[in-house]
Structure 1
Amino acid sequence: MSLPHPPYPHQPPSQAVTLNPFAVTALVTSLLCLAPLGLVFGIVALVQIPRRRQRGRGLAIAGVTVSAAVLLLVGIATAVVDFRVWTPPARDTAGEIVKPGWTAFHAIEPGDCFTPRSGAPGRDAPPTRGADVRLLPCDAPHRGEAYATFRLPEQDRAPVRNDIVATARPQCAQLFLDYTADPLASGPLQTYFFYPDERGWAAGQREVLCWVARPGNALLDSSVRLDAAELDPAQSDYLMAWKPLNSAGVRCCSTPVRQRSR
């Protein structure tokens, strides 16, 4: 005859070990490139897990590790890489630049002040590689100022460099004297011009852009424009008398720089 089993002491039902929600959140946010949040959630999870006897320590460590690595890479990149946010410039109703912004060379208008991405080219230097410039108000430090445009004569093929130089140098010199009544008022200046390359010519571009800058990449801090109407009659007559000599002596042996096609 079987004997009854002895009674066992009462045992509470076992509780399942829960997964810490911050551990999961830390890993997910780190993988979604939300590194700061992933780092914070991971640290919170590592603090809570041993106190609450929860699972997820590995997930929390992974979230912290990935987040820290992303933040480290961003810090290094910020220190060594020149980031530029491509924001377009803003103009007022008169067409003046009131908000700096990046644009392409072919969007420059006469009267615009700007800084080329690669700086002002040297004399007889090869064409600049960067096709972007930062347009700025003329009372802000800048490298160059556009003052005129003119069209090259129509022909089937793009003119060679020497032909463009022979046309643009005297044309830009004269246009500069029309732009400012006193070319010496702003100190030593060097004129430059951009012209369409072969691809731009094939696309219908014919405009030459004349612009001026200080030699050696020194900055301008105001516009070089000076309207003769703003002068008194004596000053205007004096500068008009000197205009032929200024026209002959203006430094217009400028660097021709090809525009990149649109």
Structure 2
Amino acid sequence: MNEHPGLPMASVAPAPPYGPPPQQHKTSGLAIAALVLGLAGCLPLAVLPAIILGIIAITQTGQGKRPGRGLAIGGLVAAGVWTVGWVALLGNTMGNPDNYTASPPGASCAAPPSGHANACTLKPGDCFRQPAVTGTFTSVELTLCGDTHDTQAIGTFIAADGPWPGGGELKAEASAHCQRIMAKNVDRPRLDAAGVRADLSYLKPEREAWENGVRTVFCTIHTPGAELIGSVLAPGADLAVPTG
């Protein structure tokens, strides 16, 4: 069979389409912001904005929309990781109440000094300065919640009857009740925004008062080594005795 040499093929560029070139969308600024805030989740105030901006950015990005969906998802993932870390940290510091006692020196619940309160006169919502001791003290110095203080009573419960719960025997009961009261009454964003370590604690009657029928235990938010200005209670907090 005779073969004919082939002719070289010339490449032909396709003709440009009619009309203006397609518009190039810029990467979503919200997606970038969500990623930056998500990576900065070591600051508690950055986590919530990262989640909000990330959700908005996802709706604005994707196929046929502005680029940046991957950045938005990355910001949400980072914020989620930081959220889990903060919850775990707060669970460790706030899930194991410290045991403090505030009781009058005698069984009669005598009135405390002016400007002070004890286990018989303290009320949910009261703000005060806690003595710098771990153990027994007879009263606490009340303050206005608008002034600097380090502790606030967030609610109260009535402990179960029984022998004097010395040592840490009341701790499990206080932990369950105070965790419930904290979830109900404390404005967590307000507390987180304060940027201080906060401990869930409780004030219980001392032995003499207990043996004379005093069973009121106060749940408190205490910021050791730091001071708060303003109440940590959520609007409409339940201040009944007992709480809840």
Higher Cα radius of gyration: 1
Using structure 2 for the length normalisation, give the TM-score. Answer: 0.45
Q: Which one scores higher on RCO, CA 8 angstroms, separation ≥ 6?
A: 2
Using structure 1 for the length normalisation, give the TM-score. Answer: 0.42
Relative to its length, the structure with more helix (as a share) is 1
